[in-house]
Chain A
Amino acid sequence: MHISEGVLSPAVLGGGAALAALGTAVGLAKMDYEAIPRVAILSSAFFVATLIHVPVGPVGLHLVLNGLMGLLLGWAAVPAILIALLLQAILFQFGGLTVLGVNTVIMALPAVICSYLCRPLLRRPGLVSSVGAFACGFTAIGFSALLVAAALISTGQAFLQAAQLAVLAHVPVMFIEGIITLFIFHFLKKVRPEMLEDWNA
């Protein structure tokens, strides 16, 4: 899911960087003192998850956990993802500093959107909340794949073709992430329900 350096046009890179900066500002403004440990730990989880690869067909795929981050962090997912990606770029040359903004938007924007879409469902009892949690993990990855395809338009690739490839390649991950998000949601609801309460911020 990381786009490499030297692939995208300067316009796309600039736009991505601007959007990422904006999102980070909003995320930091909304993040309060109590939220910091959870942001840090989800950032670490993201950092590790996106490094570990499972080969599926021609490309190795990895978990992203951006749905889960959106669910638990909301806007704070943007700085969390930005910092993890920055470290990956510096330590492992994954992605790169110039594409940092675009990669952040690709993974963080779906997190924020899914948090708005799915949180209302999660407050409902029973099956609806389960569906909401699964959908949060599932759609976040799908949306990220679409954003990758959109970013690649600037390289002259046909959008539909790239989008098809990106989404198809990520279908297994979409299901896995949906299930992981569902399990973690239920685990937290049973063990630490108060963690899921401070969503109104």
Chain B
Amino acid sequence: MPESLENRPPVSTTGSCRLNGMAFRETLCRWLVASLLCLSFMTVASPALGHRVLVYAYAEGETIHTESKFVGSGPVQQGPVKVLAQQSGTVLLTGTTDNQGKFAFQIPAEAAAQRVDLLIVVEASLGHRGEWLLKADDYLPGAERAAPSAAAATPATAPAAQAVAPLDPAMITIDRQVFEETLNRALERQLAPIKAMLAESREDRITLTDIIGGIGYIMGIFGLLGYFLSRKRQKS
């Protein structure tokens, strides 16, 4: 499109027309042409849509993994991450995302002890910011299990020795503990990609419908404005 404009013969710059008595519709038509021109420029240079910073966090064992990205245009690289206790607002730890937008940290001991909800805040450059609330219930099964499993290791041998004679009841409980732990770990591993997928789908992509709807709203708002102005005009 730019080329075709350039190739046009130059038109004298002094040509002047008057705006008087111009019909509303005419103005609208020429502005539609102008805006279509703008839009065509933009669509040429538009491989990606998006703007917001999206943060997603999940627990795996005693580690919390976070991923941050700009919606539609790639990871937040080297962005500062803050982990806050949601209720008190105190900063528990800080870090920086890697080039894939990932950042992982151990569950802070005091957070696990007080069952605080973690607010993970990522501040990308130029005032872009995203956050994710990780509820205590969502990350604590991992941390809780770590503590009992260490504790379980010692009684595990004691009741086992003790249980040799009667054999049944104690053995079953131990087996159940070990089994549960293994099951949890396996489930976590299997579910991690699904959780990631869920977060991905939560990433509100901007659809064409939304954009067209937005344009419609703008036209409507200015249409209303035009209506009121025209009434004022008629009165005066």
A22 to chain B, nearest CB (A): 19
Whether B218 lies near A87 (C-beta < 8 A) is: yes
Chain B residues near A41 (CB-CB < 8 A): 28, 31-32, 34-35
Chain A residues near B187 (CB-CB < 8 A): none
Cα–Cα, bound, A84→B221 (Å): 10
9 cross-chain CB contacts under 8 A? A4-B129, A38-B31, A54-B45, A54-B46, A59-B125, A60-B48, A60-B73, A83-B218, A83-B221
Contact residues of B between 10 and 43, Cβ < 8 Å to A:
11, 13-19, 22, 24, 27-28, 30-35, 37-39, 41-43
Cα–Cα, bound, A192→B35 (Å): 14
B19 to chain A, nearest CB (A): 5
B130 within 8 A of A: yes
Residue in contact with A53 in the complex, picked from B18, B38, B73, B123, CB distance below 8 Å = B73
A121 within 8 A of B: no
Chain A residues near B230 (CB-CB < 8 A): 33
Chain B residues near A186 (CB-CB < 8 A): 5
Considering the complex, give the chain A residue whose CB is closest to the CB of B226.
Answer: A36
How many Cβ-Cβ contacts under 8 Å join chain A to chain B?
202
A18 within 8 A of B: no
Whether A51 lies near B5 (C-beta < 8 A) is: no
Residue among A44, A84, A129 with max Cβ neighbours from chain B (10 Å): A44
As a 0/1 sequence over residues 218 to 234 of chain B, the CB contacts with chain A under 8 angstroms (1 = contact) are: 11011101100110010
B35 to chain A, nearest CB (A): 4
Chain B residues near A194 (CB-CB < 8 A): 16-19, 22
Residue among A53, A129, A197 with max Cβ neighbours from chain B (10 Å): A53
Cα–Cα, bound, A182→B216 (Å): 28
Residue in contact with B218 in the complex, picked from A47, A92, A191, A195, CB distance below 8 Å = A47
Chain B residues near A1 (CB-CB < 8 A): 126
Residue in contact with B72 in the complex, picked from A38, A60, A162, A180, CB distance below 8 Å = A60
6 further A-B pairs in the complex, CB-CB below 8 A; given A37-B28, A37-B222? A33-B229, A41-B28, A41-B35, A58-B77, A84-B214, A91-B213
Contact residues of A between 51 and 88, Cβ < 8 Å to B:
51-55, 58-60, 62-63, 65, 68, 83-84, 87-88
Closest 3 CB pairs of A and B: A60-B73, A40-B222, A3-B127
Given A3-B127, A47-B218, A186-B5, A92 and B42 contact (CB-CB distance below 8 Å)? no
> Which of the four size classes fits the interface of chain B?
35 or more
Whether B47 lies near A193 (C-beta < 8 A) is: no
Question: Could you tell me the dominant secondary structure of chain A's interface residues?
Answer: helix
A117 within 8 A of B: no
Chain A residues near B46 (CB-CB < 8 A): 52-54
Chain A interface residues (CB < 8 Å from chain B): 1-8, 32-34, 36-45, 47-55, 58-60, 62-63, 65, 68, 83-84, 87-88, 91-94, 125-126, 129, 148, 151-152, 155, 162, 165-166, 169, 176, 179-180, 183-184, 186-195, 197-198
Chain A residues near B210 (CB-CB < 8 A): 91-92
B168 to chain A, nearest CB (A): 58
Q: Which of B50-58, B133-141, B169-177 contacts A (4 or more CB under 8 A)?
A: B50-58
Given A3-B127, A43-B222, A91-B214, A197 and B229 contact (CB-CB distance below 8 Å)? no
Cα–Cα, bound, A93→B51 (Å): 9
B73 to chain A, nearest CB (A): 3
Cα–Cα, bound, A38→B45 (Å): 24
